[in-house]
């Protein structure tokens, strides 16, 4: 097809190996020869055939990031970070969409795709510890997010239980008592939801609040529509909550919508909090309070670990790394002066329109 090493070699009047060395820097080449070769390369427009290089070297320079849905902004934002980090390390990152499909995840784990990528970063949702342990393919694997623990692979995630604690503590601190959790899947196959529910229950107990199963609403998936439906169903039962903790920001945004439709004011009647800190949550009405994982850290760490394994370096530190998170308070849980002092606080003077505290909501 294109221009190859042989063409360059002929043009420059040198051997194949010399051209390869110029391109590749494996062996030193004399200055005069190098220039002749470089000129030939520029004139003919040579670029190496990655397939052949792969065949010879055993590496492609390609790594994959597999996520359950491209349309979840959390993953899109993570992907942009990972792509630039990979580029900085000389790798190309390709995106894979598992669509939260078990077969797709399994295919990635030991399927044929493995032969063309040097390593895989996977956010598993439908497979568990056993499937990961049964993996036969040899290329390095880094897991991100929750769901699979105690496997001999690098694993980057936030502490979900602690994140839930932080969210509930915040809601309790602003005087909320009937706190709902939206997004607990009934099936046992999504461990992250279970971890977040566990944190929710523990934090309620720590605050001396009762655990009410009716306030925990399951969803099939973790999108806006799921959150909206779950909150609608919850409100239909009567006796509404005074706060909603969403499994993630998308679910929480769906909750905002359902609450607005039902005529509940946020945050006055119901406070809402999510997890992920997607950009969208800075523009909702009201803006969304959230637990913000350090996406930059997650993306960078995942790529760096993977590349280190690919290049065979001894990687220091534990396999599992928990990255930090922080609480970003926005309008959906009210401004500090609008907190419920107590369940029977007098004259809640909450302004009708809660203005953002920052002029630029890009990075509060």
Partner DNA sequence: GCACGGCTCTATAACGTTATACAGGTGATG
Partner DNA sequence: CATCACCTGTATAACGTTATAGAGCCGTGC
Contact residues for DNA, defined by CB under 7 A: 1, 4-6, 13-18, 20-21, 23-24, 26-30, 32-34, 46, 48-49, 52-53, 55-57
CB of residue 13 to DNA, shortest distance in Å: 7
- From a copy of itself, DNA, none, interface partner of 160 (C-beta below 5 to 8 A by class): none
Q: Quote the CA–CA distance of 41 and 66 in Å, as a whole number.
A: 36
Say how many C-beta atoms besides its own lie within 10 A of residue 139's C-beta. Answer: 20
User: 16 or 173: whose CB is closer to DNA?
Assistant: 16
**β-pairing verdict for 243-246 and 179-182:** parallel
**β-pairing verdict for 289-293 and 243-246:** unpaired
CB of residue 299 to a copy of itself, shortest distance in Å: 12
CB of residue 113 to a copy of itself, shortest distance in Å: 7
- From a copy of itself, DNA, none, interface partner of 80 (C-beta below 5 to 8 A by class): a copy of itself
Q: Quote the CA–CA distance of 142 and 152 in Å, as a whole number.
A: 10
Say how many C-beta atoms besides its own lie within 10 A of residue 162's C-beta. Answer: 17
Whole-angstrom Cα Rg for the chain: 26
The tokens of 197 are what?
Answer: 């529910």
Phi and psi at 121, nearest 5°, equal -110, 120
User: 49 or 97: whose CB is closer to DNA?
Assistant: 49
Q: Quote the CA–CA distance of 26 and 18 in Å, as a whole number.
A: 10
Binding site for a copy of itself (CB under 8 A): 1-2, 45, 47-52, 54-55, 58, 60, 62, 69-71, 73, 76-77, 79-80, 83-84, 92, 94-95, 97, 99, 110-116, 136-138, 223-225, 228, 253-254, 256-257, 260-261, 263, 279-280, 282-285, 353, 355-356, 360-362
CB of residue 194 to a copy of itself, shortest distance in Å: 26
């Amino acid at each position: 097809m294109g221009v190859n090493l042989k063409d360059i070699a002929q043009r420059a009047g040198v051997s194949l190996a010399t051209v390869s060395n110029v391109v590749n820097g494996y062996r030193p080449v004399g200055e005069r020869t190098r220039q002749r070769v470089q000129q030939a390369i520029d004139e003919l427009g040579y670029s190496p055939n990655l397939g052949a290089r792969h065949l010879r070297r055993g590496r492609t320079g390609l790594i994959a990031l597999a996520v359950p849905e491209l349309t979840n902004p959390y993953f899109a934002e993570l992907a942009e970070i990972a792509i630039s980090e990979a580029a900085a390390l000389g790798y190309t990152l390709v995106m894979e969409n598992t669509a939260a499909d078990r077969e797709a995840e399994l295919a990635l784990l030991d399927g044929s795709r493995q032969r063309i990528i040097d390593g895989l970063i996977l956010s598993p949702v439908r497979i568990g510890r056993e499937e990961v342990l049964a993996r036969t393919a040899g290329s390095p694997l880094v897991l991100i997010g929750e769901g699979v623990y105690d496997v001999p692979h690098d694993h980057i995630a936030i502490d979900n239980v602690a994140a839930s604690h932080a969210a509930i503590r915040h809601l309790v601190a602003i005087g909320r008592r009937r706190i709902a959790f939206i997004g607990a899947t009934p099936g046992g196959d999504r461990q992250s939801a279970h971890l977040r529910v566990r944190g929710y229950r523990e934090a309620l107990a720590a605050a001396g609040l009762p655990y009410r199963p009716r306030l925990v609403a399951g969803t099939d998936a973790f999108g806006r529509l799921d959150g909206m439906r779950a909150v609608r169903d919850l409100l239909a039962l009567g006796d509404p909550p005074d706060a909603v903790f969403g499994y993630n920001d998308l679910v929480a945004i769906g909750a905002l919508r359902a609450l607005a439709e039902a005529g509940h004011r946020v945050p006055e009647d119901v406070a809402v909090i999510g997890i992920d800190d997607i950009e969208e949550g800075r523009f909702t009405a009201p803006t969304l309070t959230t637990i913000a994982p350090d996406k930059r850290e997650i993306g960078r760490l995942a790529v760096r670990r993977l590349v280190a394994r690919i290049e065979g370096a001894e990687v220091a530190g534990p396999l599992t790394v928990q990255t930090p998170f922080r609480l970003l308070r926005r309008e959906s849980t009210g401004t500090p002066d609008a907190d419920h002092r107590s369940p029977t606080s007098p004259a809640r003077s909450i302004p009708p329109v809660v203005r953002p505290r920052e002029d630029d909501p890009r990075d509060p």
